[in-house]
């Protein structure tokens, strides 16, 4: 049986691919027309794009064209992922002697002919300190090929399972409970006396300043009329079901309540009149969707631009142009939803530092709103 012989350059490319996919969490990007180059993305890494180029670059003219082509593709990736800057690492494996590497705007370039060339580049040792060690594999020939393909397949299967778990719709139990609670409270208010009930539990600055702080929470479970209730509960069912599935029921409930409280505080500051409804909390769920979509923008980039952002803008526009709508609560809820999502974290994407930053921002923001609502504006 003839032993499989792998070209030195192909072996290096395979090892690099193995390292970035299995050790650094990068995913391949499918690009039509890209030949002899592999694009990898990890939007949570310092280098969000790693490009491995096995094509022979024989002179500076070809190198400049390659740089131009790279910039154009990165522009497309920026639009899709809603990113302002994408730091990219170009790894060339076959350069002519007359080619002088030049790094350009947010794109660093290195040339690796073998594993030993890693020591020439401080950026590789700084951002990928285990690269050289991981490229030093004992296996050769068909055994090396089998190990690399096997490890990559396992890594891809693990990532696919994690993504499936994130995006698989779960039963929205908390959403159902919140909808039922709002409906029950509306029925009770109708039996007791709707206006009297709102007077007892609705948001009104003078009552809150007098010490009835519970109104900041109770107001988000009251509705002005049946149409108001139906509209909000429909929105809660559509948006809430997804947010509860993407996060989990406890994080979802925390986002809902936090957003509702922030919305109520904003209403105290800017609206300064009676206010009821779940719309502040529902706008918070839109903020959570925006935060989640940004972290999974490789999957949801087009959805964010074509659906999430337009829905938010249209609803805010309606609030600004229609009388009787508490847009301050909507904007407050939206901001609160983003902050709350940062605090509770997005599965598979959040870090301890992100959550700590979210807690700090949340505490400062709530304290500032309380100061404005209870001291500065009254």
The set of catalytic residues is 279, 330
Rg (alpha carbons) of the chain, rounded to whole number: 27
Q: How far apart are the first and last CA of the chain?
A: 88
**Backbone torsion region of residue 42, taken as left when φ is above 0, otherwise alpha when ψ lies between -120 and 50, otherwise beta:** beta
Q: How far from 368 is each of 102, 206, 281, CA to CA, in Å?
A: 48, 19, 19
| Pairing relationship of beta strands 107-111 and 27-29 according to DSSP bridges | unpaired
Q: Helices 327-344 and 309-321 sit at what angle, rounded to 10 degrees?
A: 150
CB 259 within 8 A of CB 285: yes
Tell me how far apart the alpha carbons of residues 299 and 279 are, in angstroms, rounded to a whole number.
Answer: 28
Supply 50's token pair: 């790693």
* Partners of 91 in beta bridges: 52, 110
Tell me how far apart the alpha carbons of residues 4 and 227 are, in angstroms, rounded to a whole number.
Answer: 72
Q: Where are the alpha helices (DSSP H) in the chain?
A: 8-18, 60-81, 122-127, 131-135, 141-167, 173-192, 194-201, 205-209, 215-218, 226-246, 249-270, 279-295, 297-303, 309-321, 327-344, 352-371
Supply 282's token pair: 């529902």
CB 26 within 8 A of CB 50: yes
């Amino acid at each position: 049986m003839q032993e499989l012989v792998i070209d030195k350059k192909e072996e290096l490319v395979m090892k690099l691919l193995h390292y970035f996919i299995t050790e650094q969490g990068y995913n391949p990007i499918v690009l039509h027309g890209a030949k002899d180059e592999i694009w990898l993305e990890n939007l949570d890494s310092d280098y969000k794009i790693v490009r491995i180029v096995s094509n022979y670059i024989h002179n500076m003219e070809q190198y400049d064209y390659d740089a131009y082509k790279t910039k154009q593709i990165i522009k497309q990736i920026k639009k899709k992922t809603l990113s302002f800057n994408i730091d990219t690492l170009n790894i060339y494996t076959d350069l002519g002697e007359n080619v002088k590497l030049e790094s350009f705007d947010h794109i660093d370039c290195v040339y690796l002919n073998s594993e030993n060339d890693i020591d020439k580049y401080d950026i590789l040792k700084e951002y990928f300190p285990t690269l050289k060690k991981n490229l030093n594999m004992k296996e050769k020939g068909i055994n090396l090929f089998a190990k690399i393909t096997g490890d990559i397949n396992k890594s891809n299967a693990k990532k696919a399972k994690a993504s499936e778990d994130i995006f698989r719709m779960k039963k929205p139990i908390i959403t159902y409970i919140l909808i039922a609670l709002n409906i029950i409270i509306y029925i009770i208010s109708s039996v007791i006396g709707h206006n009297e009930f709102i007077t007892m539990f609705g948001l009104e600055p003078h009552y809150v300043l007098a010490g009835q702080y519970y109104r900041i929470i109770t107001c988000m479970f009251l509705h002005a009329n049946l149409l108001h209730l139906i509209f909000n509960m429909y929105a809660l069912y559509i948006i809430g079901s997804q947010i509860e599935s993407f996060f989990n029921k406890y994080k979802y409930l925390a986002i809902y309540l936090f957003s509702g409280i922030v919305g109520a505080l904003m209403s105290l500051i800017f609206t300064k009149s009676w206010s009821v409804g779940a719309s502040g909390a529902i706008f918070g769920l839109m903020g959570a969707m925006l935060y989640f979509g940004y972290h999974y923008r490789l999957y949801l980039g087009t959805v964010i631009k074509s659906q999430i952002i337009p829905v938010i803008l249209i609803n805010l526009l309606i609030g600004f142009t229609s009388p009787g709508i508490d847009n301050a609560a909507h904007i407050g809820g939206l901001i609160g939803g983003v902050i709350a999502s940062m605090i509770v974290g997005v599965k598979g994407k959040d870090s301890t530092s992100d959550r700590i930053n979210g807690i700090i921002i949340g505490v400062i923001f709530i304290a500032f709103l309380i100061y404005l609502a209870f001291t500065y504006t009254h």
